[in-house]
Amino acid sequence: MSKRGLILVISGFSGVGKGTVVRRLMEAHDNYALSVSVTTRTPRAGEVHGKDYFFISEEEFSAMEAEGKLMEWAGYVGRHYGTPRDYVFERLEEGKDMILEIEVQGALQIREKYPEAILVFVAPPGAAVLKERLLGRGTESIEQVEKRLARAVEESGAMESYDYLLINDDLMTCVEELHQIARCEHRKMQVNRELMNDIKIDLKRFVEGE
């Protein structure tokens, strides 16, 4: 099984519960690490630099972008968000499977730049369930919920660019399915070229040494 980590991109409609899926996955298995994004917005109460986000200036963000140090980035209400390449790649080298919980726009950038990345789309068992979950949060007005649902319709157009489709019906089932996807991806021939070559060399030497 390949030892280098995988880039796992997790996307899904707002309210589908992908944050919870990712948190539970990391609690249950220690081979994962979550990417920490850079952002130019100001920290909210309780947010920790280097844990929730790396809070940087617009100038620093522009410099990172210009130097190719962002794997993907997006703008949202005048602020910028991005995935820092070095942070992710250092952990991949350590063998961590890096989880990028990002929106479809960012996921499509990753697909383009890192074809080896694995893109997983988490969908709800139905639109009505999605609405219930959004309302269940109790933090948003009905107008905000309807905006999120309308956005989900738009985002659904990008689903076919993903590698895998998971339905978050039962939380822990979804978590384990995601874990199995990562495990299977570690058995792909293309990430095991070193092992494959070791097998070839071992066989050849053994037969020649007979």
Applying CB under 8 A, the residues found at the interface with a copy of itself are 13, 121, 123, 126-128, 130-131, 146, 149-150, 152-153, 156-157, 159-160, 162-166, 177, 180-181, 183-185, 187-189, 192-193, 195-196, 199-200, 202-207, 210
Strands 79-84 and 38-39, by their bridges, are: antiparallel
Phi, psi of 65 (to 5 degrees): -65, -45
Nearest approach, Cβ of residue 125 and a copy of itself (Å):
9
The distance of closest approach from Cβ of residue 164 to a copy of itself in the complex, given in angstroms and rounded to an integer, is: 5
DSSP one-letter string for 60-81: HHHHHHHTT-EEEEEEETTEEE
Question: Residue 80: how many CA atoms within 13 Å on its side-chain side?
Answer: 18
H or E segment and range at residue 105: helix 104-113
Q: Is 159 exposed, middle or buried (0-12, 13-18, 19+ CB in 10 A)?
A: middle
Q: Output 3 or 200, the one with its CB closest to a copy of itself.
A: 200
Least Å distance between CB 1 and a copy of itself?
8
| Closest of 81, 72, 6, 69 to residue 37, by C-alpha | 81
Work out how close the CB of 133 gets to a copy of itself at its nearest, in angstroms, rounded to a whole number.
13
What are residue 64's DSSP bridge partners? Answer: none
**Least distance to a copy of itself, CB of residue 16, Å:** 11
